[in-house]
Amino acid sequence: MNQELKETSKLFRPAFLIGFIPILIIMIGLLISGIRKNEIVDIIICSIAIAINISVLCILQIPKLTLIIDQNGIQFNYRPYHKKNIAYSWADIRNIELIKFDAVSEFKGWGRKISKRYGTGYLTLGGDGIHITNKDGSSVTLTIIDVKAAEGLISIYGNQ
């Protein structure tokens, strides 16, 4: 029986994005007040602030990491950087480890980042990751949500 882990994570969780709602409500209230008072400067400033807020919310929804671990190896796609899946076959992987990391101290943030210790990182969350070192010496670190499932699959497929 072939088992696989397929998970998708986004750069920011909904709870973070909900934090933008009070700012939007305040700006809309100020815009309505500016319209009622016929204050052109208030209308322009609030309209620009609302447009920027909505644009930031939309842009923050774009980055998404899809990770697949199966009998063929490990595949991932980090939108918007990759159009196709990046695949590492088990035969090409020299070392694989599940790690705990701090995105800020190890990678200087989230997204597509470089770390001296962990190579290229595709990070949507902090905390748990899978660090892959290929036989050619390159390495990549990916955010992982279901550590136990990944550990089980790596022990099954990674040792063949």
Q: Are residues 114 and 152 in the same domain?
A: yes
Q: Are residues 100 and 129 in the same domain?
A: yes
Instruction: Establish if 33 belongs to a structural domain.
Output: yes
Domain limits at 55? 11-60
Instruction: Establish if 74 belongs to a structural domain.
Output: yes
Q: Are residues 79 and 26 in the same domain?
A: no
Q: Whole-angstrom Cα distance, residue 131 to residue 101? A: 10
User: Is the predicted pLDDT of residue 1 greater than 60, yes or no?
Assistant: no
What are the tens digits of pLDDT across the range 140-160?
A: 999 999 999 999 999 888 765
What are the tens digits of pLDDT across the range 80-138?
A: 888 899 999 999 999 999 999 988 888 998 889 999 889 999 998 778 999 999 999 89
Instruction: Establish if 1 belongs to a structural domain.
Output: no
Instruction: Establish if 4 belongs to a structural domain.
Output: no
- Answer whether 81's CB lies under 8 Å from 102's CB: no
Q: Is the previous residue joined to 80 through a cis bond, with omega within 30 degrees of 0? A: yes
Instruction: Establish if 75 belongs to a structural domain.
Output: yes
Domains identified in the chain, total number: 2
The first and second tokens of residue 98, run together, are: 């599940």
What does the pLDDT average to over 53-64? 84
